Structure 1
Amino acid sequence: MFSKNTKYNFNLKTTFLVLFSICTQFVEAQNAWKPASFEIVKSNYKTFKTSQYAHVFSGSKHNIVGLVPELQGLTGIELPLDKYKNGTNSPLQLKFKEPVQVLVGIFQEKNSEYLQADKLQNAKLVLENGITITGLAPVNIYAIAYAKGTHTILPNAKGLFAILGVIKSSQQLVSRNAELLDGKLWNPTYIIEGFSDEKPLFEIIGGENKPVIDEGMSGTEGIQGGFEGGRVVKVGDTYHMFPTERAGEKGVEYYYDRVKTKIGHWTSKDAIHWKRESTIYQASGTYAVTEDDNPMNDRRGAIWSYMPVFSEKANKWYGYYLAYTVHKEIQPNHSFGRIWRCESTVEGINGIGGPYKDMGIIMEPGLDSQPWEGRQGVASFFPYKVGDKYFGFYSGAYPFESWADYPKKSGKGWFVALAESNSLEGPWTRMNKGLEPIKTIHPQFVENPIVSQLPNGLYIAVFDGGPEGWGHHLPNMIGYTLSKDGINWGEARYLPIETKVDKTWDIMRTPLCLIPEGNDVYTIIYNTIDLKKRFHPTGMVKVKLNKEVMESRLKELK
């Protein structure tokens, strides 16, 4: 709960974080290890820069998600994962122009597939738990000295290890325990665009290095907690955004920001400078009085995830949005979601600003619900057309193992499945009776997918890939998935946009669009969380489509 000293506390915390950052940068500069050059002899092994997201092994998805500053910027070597695990690898020969120390990562895994530390000779332990690699055990880092000349590295070693850098022999190394996290917390592993064996579908080409909507900007008055979810569409030369505004109330604890919500309508000519036009819907902000899905409760306590879709048949804009019952104490507080459909009262493509009128509920908990939809489901909805039919992603979260767990005993997981209909108006039916969610994209977390098509007809859905925070170890990046038929969806890839724009967030949340701008360039508007402040800002990034990769992905998909 925020007290009357909240502003002072925030300022003090911000000052501390700035000073901490300055001190950290100084320490990092002092601790940086000096790299030594080397040459790979008689092999086609590739090198990598030891840094965030670096791809450590060829033939794998394993990437670095945490490392000590001493390792930052060194040059590692991609070893073929399977060959080293089963002992069929060719010898690794390196040529040095001076005496060096090779930094070898040893996994703390008592398994014959991994090189064991007791098999090392003349090695010095310099970093315990010094790097985190997705899906793999904690790593201890050893330094092994080599003289000038050509050497076979660990010629008698059996099992997987990592080459994380080569540094000068004169470098003074002080052993310490960095206490970085176990990489197995990031399980399953996942593909990061530009950091794997495959060519990326999208190149991140830049964007805004600061939020395009942030606290204090025009239009944010009365919005305590910023933004989360919704959709952006482009009509002519104007962008229209319909975000969930975490309005809350002044003087009321920040949790209430996500209860008393609004659906706003914002416009922009450049996706950077935004103007608030109107309020489309506003939630009641009323808490439930019972713990089950009971009509005694206000089932529009919180409103989220507004998705505008143009109906060519009706020649008007439809809106699909989510209304929740909100319990003050039972997790998840947002429960028993219902999807409403509304229509603009103004016909034509320019009627996107409404006003809108409700047409009724199209999906809700009922006899065809399944336990995986959980306490939160139905938690989002996005319709799209495939041929003469319509499909819609709907979601569930906080699943029940069985209906015996209803209404309070829920687990963890954020899932999506498909519904189908012959029209945008419905009725909508859960496909396969909703028996199983789609897990080919990611087995644990897919949230708020928005579907469009690429130039070759491939369907693409951008979605929230899940946080690194709140006890979760998920990609913390915008995700996308591809489909050839709009029904079967492939494995997710994730976009590390902070490689080209300043990272102003701790937690990446929901992408609101993938808008084509011509010349294969696309605009993505996205929401984030900066843990230093209450207001959740909105950012913008541009990506460029690689058409050659697009065609190869089409051939790969069934």
Structure 2
Amino acid sequence: MFSKNTKYNLKVKTVFLLMFSVCFQFSALAQNSGWTPSSFEIVKSNYKTFKTTQYAHVFSGSKNNIVRLAPDLQGLQGIQLPLEKYKSGTNTPLQLRFKEPVKVIVGIFQENNSEYLQSNKLENAKLVLKNGLTITGLPSVNVYALSFPKGKQTINPGNGLFAILGVIKDTQKLSFRNAELPDGKLWNPTFIVEGFSDEKPLFEIIGGENKAVVDEGMSGTEGIQGGFEGGRVVKVGDTYHMFPTERAGEIGVDYYYDRVKTRIGHWTSKDAIHWKRESTIYQASGTYAITEDDNPMNDRRAAIWSYMPVFNEKVNKWYGYYLAYTVSKTIEPNHSFGRIWRCESTIDGIDGIGGPYKDMGIIMEPGLDSEPWEGRQGVASFFPYKVGDKYFGFYSGAYPFNSWADYPKKTGKGWFVALAESKSLEGPWSRIKDGSNPIKTIHPFFVENPIVSQLPNGLYIAVFDGGPDGWGHHLPNMMAYSLSKDGKNWGEARYLPIETKVDKWWDIMRTPLCLIPEGNDVYTIVYAAIDLKKRFHPMGMVKVKLNKEVMESRLKELK
């Protein structure tokens, strides 16, 4: 699993966040909450407009999106310029018609490069926001106001890329300030946000709960200090069954122990909103290692994570696949040398999902067939799925070694997935060694906990954790999906901005536990996320609707 060691105490972090929140609110009150827009018409052009807000798709022919913006800009109407034409200077001049005198709000990239419009080329422009906008993959943005009279005007400040972020009334009073927003090149590579790109979205976010569905203090959460992380939710009949990793920890013990002293819980619900805890499936020991390497003297079940129930129709039983770690007090990551266990329900049939379960042994572990990219944390998750007459299994690694000479402590950064194969769910499972692992077509360095199912047209879909915008990382901070035609070759990730349709109660998005079909092309997703003001990590729920027309077009596009 992705290490959450932020290297500072949770209490200090909470105080900082509260102070930041108060300062931000005071700053927002001191500034205009937003500038007053003015209407305009685009003349002789088919350029689209966009609402200047988070995730806005600023340039056509690109994956660049807004991830930070000053509140002054919020809600303005920008114009989606063609990226490559403006970079190369082959664009035709943009003409706009105004009903009154206006100020056009323009974003200028702070890089001395011929691809970008240089600020010294602007005439009669006023710098109003320094570092006022962050666009993924692009340099820092200064925001200028350019005045224009009523009527048809040509917006052509010079060669190179710039962003038109809105048009406001000329009477709007503007004063300079530094918004201190980060450089967009920190978000590299750029990524596709579903519903905020040139393509139609596969899923429409249609709603869900505006707060966590399992949160601290609710029935069943007693004794769980740190809340939840990944696992799986399945639906049997009219009942949802959730098997989350419970970050139990111990009362009076530091929060970091929450992710060591873990257990696998079994929860049920009739609506994916109101949950009842049924039992504990597995409990980790929480015992720290006594050596730094992968040594049998260490307790190799010190932390247990990522329980994945799969029904085996052939034997009429539920199988469970889960991850057991060695843990360290002093080495980053503290979760090390993951091993994947398989267990079976002792009760036959589909209703045996609640167990009890018995262990059947380890199916994957570090060994002679491991590769350096699996790193100190691998094998870090596992999910099996059927393709034709055989099975593939996503397995993962993290904190990679550059070479085996770096073992056991000298690690890099990266959270990767790869495929193993087997003729049966029981195994044996073999790492695929054809050069395709790790799979970087989904994302070059961050994919966690993929869960695979099939869409109505046979496309395989994997939903997964897309990575945090936090702890020093600049990742999409959204759950994501990837598609495959054959179950082996996977396409580029698309990220789901669910906060555009439900209230964002979290700071950091983590792991989707399911994509459950409900009929009428509606799917349920239960997900884990983090509210940084809390030690307890809650669970949420959202509904999405599949666009079958887009699904068919994606099938044709995939190789």
When normalised by structure 2's length, the TM-score is: 0.96
CA distance in 1, matches of 2:342, 2:33: 58
CA distance in 1, matches of 2:408, 2:541: 39
* 1:511-530 matched pairs, under 5 angstroms: 511-530=512-531
Residue by residue over 1:29-49, the C-alpha shift from the partner in whole angstroms, topping out at 9 and shown as x without a partner, is: x34211111110110011111
Asked if the contact 1:99/1:147 (under 8 Å) is kept, the reply is yes
| Corresponding residue for residue 144 of structure 2 | 142
CA distance in 2, matches of 1:12, 1:407: 36
Q: CA deviation at 1:13?
A: 7.9
Residue 119 in 1 paired to residue 128 in 2?
Answer: no
User: In structure 2, which of residues 63, 67, 70 is the aligned counterpart of residue 68 of structure 1?
Assistant: 70
| Corresponding residue for residue 443 of structure 1 | 444
Q: CA deviation at 1:277?
A: 0.3
* 1:54-203 matched pairs, under 5 angstroms: 54-154=56-156, 157-203=158-204
| Corresponding residue for residue 3 of structure 1 | none
Q: CA deviation at 1:27?
A: 4.0
* 1:32-431 matched pairs, under 5 angstroms: 32-154=34-156, 157-431=158-432
Asked if the contact 2:38/2:169 (under 8 Å) is kept, the reply is yes
- Judged with a 3 Å threshold, the aligned counterparts in structure 2 of structure 1 residues 460 and 97 are, in CA distance, closer, same or farther, namely same
Q: CA deviation at 1:91?
A: 1.2
CA distance in 2, matches of 1:246, 1:433: 37
Q: CA deviation at 1:103?
A: 1.0
CA distance in 1, matches of 2:11, 2:200: 48
Residue by residue over 1:47-87, the C-alpha shift from the partner in whole angstroms, topping out at 9 and shown as x without a partner, is: 11100000000000000000001000011100000111111
CA distance in 1, matches of 2:70, 2:28: 12
CA distance in 2, matches of 1:7, 1:94: 51
CA distance in 1, matches of 2:495, 2:260: 30
CA distance in 2, matches of 1:7, 1:163: 41
CA distance in 1, matches of 2:413, 2:13: 32
- Judged with a 3 Å threshold, the aligned counterparts in structure 2 of structure 1 residues 289 and 182 are, in CA distance, closer, same or farther, namely same
Q: CA deviation at 1:26?
A: 3.5
When normalised by structure 1's length, the TM-score is: 0.96
Residue 26 in 1 paired to residue 29 in 2?
Answer: yes
Q: CA deviation at 1:170?
A: 1.0
| Corresponding residue for residue 542 of structure 2 | 541
Q: CA deviation at 1:119?
A: 1.1
Asked if the contact 1:10/1:533 (under 8 Å) is kept, the reply is no
Aligned-residue sequence identity (percent) comes to 81
CA distance in 1, matches of 2:134, 2:98: 28
Residue by residue over 1:203-240, the C-alpha shift from the partner in whole angstroms, topping out at 9 and shown as x without a partner, is: 00000001000000000000000000000000000000
Q: CA deviation at 1:14?
A: 8.8
CA distance in 1, matches of 2:522, 2:164: 37
Task: Report SS of the residue matched to 1:82.
Answer: helix
CA distance in 1, matches of 2:227, 2:251: 13
CA distance in 2, matches of 1:158, 1:321: 56
Asked if the contact 1:68/1:178 (under 8 Å) is kept, the reply is yes
CA distance in 1, matches of 2:28, 2:145: 24
CA distance in 2, matches of 1:436, 1:514: 25
Residue by residue over 1:106-135, the C-alpha shift from the partner in whole angstroms, topping out at 9 and shown as x without a partner, is: 111111111111111111111111000000
Amino acid aligned to 2:335? H
Amino acid aligned to 1:497? I
Amino acid aligned to 2:73? L
Task: Report SS of the residue matched to 1:443.
Answer: coil
- Judged with a 3 Å threshold, the aligned counterparts in structure 2 of structure 1 residues 146 and 476 are, in CA distance, closer, same or farther, namely same
Asked if the contact 1:372/1:436 (under 8 Å) is kept, the reply is no
Asked if the contact 1:370/1:434 (under 8 Å) is kept, the reply is no
CA distance in 2, matches of 1:16, 1:51: 25
Amino acid aligned to 1:454? L
- Judged with a 3 Å threshold, the aligned counterparts in structure 2 of structure 1 residues 431 and 522 are, in CA distance, closer, same or farther, namely same
Task: Report SS of the residue matched to 2:395.
Answer: strand
Asked if the contact 2:10/2:535 (under 8 Å) is kept, the reply is no
Amino acid aligned to 1:510? T
Q: CA deviation at 1:24?
A: 5.4
Asked if the contact 1:477/1:509 (under 8 Å) is kept, the reply is yes
CA distance in 1, matches of 2:187, 2:22: 31
Asked if the contact 1:368/1:434 (under 8 Å) is kept, the reply is no
Task: Report SS of the residue matched to 2:71.
Answer: coil
List gaps (5 residues or longer) in structure 1: 1-5
- Judged with a 3 Å threshold, the aligned counterparts in structure 2 of structure 1 residues 535 and 100 are, in CA distance, closer, same or farther, namely same
Asked if the contact 1:100/1:167 (under 8 Å) is kept, the reply is yes
CA distance in 2, matches of 1:99, 1:7: 52
| Aligned Cα root-mean-square deviation (Å) | 1.7
CA distance in 2, matches of 1:399, 1:127: 41
CA distance in 1, matches of 2:289, 2:548: 50
